[in-house]
Amino acid sequence: MAIMRPGPLAGQLSGRVGGIVFSRNRGGDYVRNGPSPINPQSSYQVAVRNALSIASSFWDDMGDSARAAWKGWASVNPVQNRLGESIRLQGNAAYVALNARKAALGHPMLAGTPTRSAPGALLTITPTFNIGAGNFELEFTATPLLDEFKIWILGCVITNVGVSFVKNRLRHFYTSASAASSPVNIESAFNARFGVPSVGQKIVLLAGVFDNTYGMLSSMLRCEGVVVST
């Protein structure tokens, strides 16, 4: 692994170019060889691909006026990239991003552009990871959510508790019912996605608010904890 200090033409780099991966940790920016991607064809991977395919096919069948509306909406509704920068997506990318989430949950595609802003972020999240008689859940505020909102959670399991960079390991595994109240029990959904964790492993979660109508997500809060048992 090589450490790098980007110059004035490349202030910060993140992502993959060919077989080279640009990333960042507490020591600064670095470059490493990227592993060859695997294609396990898991049920989760297939579901994500199907959701993207469904959303893309709806875009292809859309009329010119509807596409123009989405381009206009995307131009005034920026999102954050992996560097935390505000960027504006193309109309098709914005449409597919929102509708792929809806398709993944079995919701109908949007007939038009959203008529409200993305939901506000959660104020706090507090996890409990007890695989024994205790709770395996996520507390959050403010609670309860509004009727049209749900909790949306990504997670991963880390065997080495010293690992902190987990962006490439996070997977969506839980979406609550509408108007959820704190706490939400996430144990069965987590076990179905990742298997039953072991005492001493670290779990990292990202949680946000999902707009059930428009497929938009709030900014995400991160929390982590070590698995215990009682």
pLDDT of residue 51: 78
Domain map of the chain by residue range?
A: 2-33, 43-104, 124-226
CA distance 185 to 133: 13
Mean pLDDT of each 10-residue bin along the chain, 230 residues long:
55 59 60 60 72 84 92 90 78 91 88 92 98 97 96 95 85 96 98 96 97 94 96
pLDDT of residue 79: 82
Q: What is the pTM of this model?
A: 0.78
CATH class of the domain comprising 124-226? mainly beta
Q: Is 179 left (phi over 0), alpha (psi -120 to 50) or beta?
A: left
CA distance 201 to 158: 6
| CB neighbourhood size of 55 (10 A) | 24
pLDDT of residue 56: 85
Q: Which of 158, 154, 184 is nearest to 171 (CA)?
A: 154
Q: Where are the alpha helices (DSSP H) in the chain?
A: 43-60, 64-75, 91-104, 187-194
pLDDT of residue 175: 97
HSE of 181, CA atoms in CB hemisphere, 13 A: 0
Element (H, E) at 70: helix 64-75
Tokens 């990292």 correspond to 204
pLDDT of residue 131: 97
Identity (one letter) of the amino acid at 56? S
122: tokens are 């959660």
pLDDT of residue 7: 59
Residues in the chain: 230
